């Protein structure tokens, strides 16, 4: 598979994941918690990087944007892994969405400013499929997207 197809696959599959998140939020009524929003930031950077890597013609630009895409998806995987651990009670989460004793490092209410829905707790699993939460599924998906971008960059560097 060419590097452009790898980048396109990562971008399209990432966009489908983002669309699924929006479906669950707006159709099913599952509001995202603060950690869900952090995952979306990484997903957005990953999609944009992969898409730009596919569209740019210069090899150096493809490598840079492909690496940005891989790093965005890797950030998403890390945030999803942290969220999974909070849900499974392996460690404490953010104080404002899971009632932990960790210091308050940011205000998730600012992320949802202008909405009337309360910020859901990060340490509860509102939906699962085959025993895995959305955050659990997101770890595997985002790692797969990371691999697609990394393979695209490796093919470019070998050429």
Kindly state whether residue 22 falls inside one of the protein's structural domains. Answer: yes
Kindly state whether residue 118 falls inside one of the protein's structural domains. Answer: no
CB atoms within 10 A of CB 87: 23
Give me the number of domains the chain comprises. 1
| Beta-bridge partners for 132 | 129
pLDDT digits over 69-78, tens only? Answer: 999 999 999 9
C-alpha of 114 from chain center:
23
Pair 50, 10: CB distance under 8 Å = yes
Give me 28's structure tokens.
């099913």
If you average pLDDT over residues 7-28, what whole number do you get? 93
Domain of 57 in residue numbering reads as 3-99+123-158
| Beta-bridge partners for 143 | none
Kindly state whether residue 115 falls inside one of the protein's structural domains. Answer: no
Kindly state whether residue 113 falls inside one of the protein's structural domains. Answer: no
Predicted local distance difference test score (pLDDT) of residue 118: 56
- Of the candidates 29, 61, 66, 27, which has an alpha carbon nearest to the alpha carbon of residue 49? 66
**pLDDT reading at 35 higher than 70:** yes
Q: Does the predicted TM-score (pTM) go above 0.85? A: no
Lowest-confidence segment of 54-63, 89-98, 116-125 by average pLDDT: 116-125
Residue with the two structure tokens 């985002």: 142
Kindly state whether residue 111 falls inside one of the protein's structural domains. Answer: no
Pair 109, 96: CB distance under 8 Å = yes
């Amino acid at each position: 598979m060419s590097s452009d197809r790898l980048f396109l696959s990562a971008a399209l599959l990432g966009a489908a994941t983002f669309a699924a998140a929006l479906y669950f939020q707006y159709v099913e009524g599952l509001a995202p918690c603060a950690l869900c929003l952090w995952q979306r930031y990484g997903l957005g950077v990953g999609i944009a990087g992969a898409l730009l890597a596919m569209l740019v013609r210069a090899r150096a630009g493809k490598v840079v944007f492909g690496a940005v895409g891989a790093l965005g998806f890797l950030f998403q995987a890390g945030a999803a892994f942290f969220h999974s651990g909070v849900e499974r009670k392996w460690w404490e989460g953010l104080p404002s969405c899971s009632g932990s004793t960790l210091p308050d490092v940011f205000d998730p209410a600012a992320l949802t400013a202008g909405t009337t829905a309360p910020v859901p707790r990060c340490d509860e699993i509102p939906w699962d499929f085959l025993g895995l939460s959305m955050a659990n599924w997101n770890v595997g998906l985002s790692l797969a997207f990371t691999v697609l971008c990394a393979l695209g960059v490796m093919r470019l560097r070998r050429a």
